[in-house]
Amino acid sequence: MTQHSVVHATFTHEREYPAAPAEVFAAWSDPETKARWFAGGNGRHELDFRVGGRELAAGTHDGNELAFETTYHEIVPGERIAYTSTMRSGDTVTTVSVTTVEFVAAESGTRLTLTEHGAYLDGHEKPEWREHGTGDQLDALGKELTTGR
């Protein structure tokens, strides 16, 4: 008999970017731009950015096939995105999460606040791994906004 477990965790990342909220928001909504900073150019990335639309980022990591699948539930252009996601390793669901991303005008351009509530299943992923990886993606977004690559 397999022992099942779940760990619940929440984290928040804040970043300030030297770009207007509409420009930062566009980096989330434009498929080519998002693929550059979110998927890192490796693997497969598909984006249907609309309420009810889906996103898929898939590839291999340490020899395992991983797929990050998202469904968008609320989109307020230039202000907020709310979505749910699952991470799979092969046929195994490793995490389920609810995420909000807020875009607020700031003196330097935009303050982005991302909050994620996750259920980490059966020890396949640790909350600190997800938090670290999300931080790396937001840093890549900052690079995208300042250099365009």
Q: Does residue 39 register a pLDDT over 90?
A: no
Mean pLDDT estimate for the chain: 93
Q: Tens of pLDDT along 63-110?
A: 788 999 999 999 999 999 999 999 999 999 999 999 999 999 999 999
| CATH architecture observed for domain 6-148 | 2-Layer Sandwich (3.30)
Residue 14 has φ and ψ, to the nearest 5°, of -120, 140
pLDDT of residue 1: 47
Chain length of the chain: 149
CB-based contact 79:105 (threshold 8 Å): no
Task: Report how far residue 16's alpha carbon sits from residue 127's, in angstroms, rounded to the nearest whole number.
Answer: 23
Q: How far is CA 5 from CA 122, 125, 147, in A?
A: 5, 11, 42
pLDDT of residue 121: 97
Provide the CB-side half-sphere exposure for 47 (13 A, CA): 16
- Nearest CA to 28 out of 66, 97, 67, 74 is that of 74
pTM for the full predicted model: 0.92
Label residue 84 exposed, middle or buried (CB < 10 Å: 0-12, 13-18, 19+): middle
Concatenated DSSP letters for 23-41? HHHHHHH-HHHHIIIIITT
Phi-psi region of 28 (alpha: psi -120 to 50; beta: other; left: phi over 0): alpha
Domain boundaries of the chain, sorted by first residue: 6-148
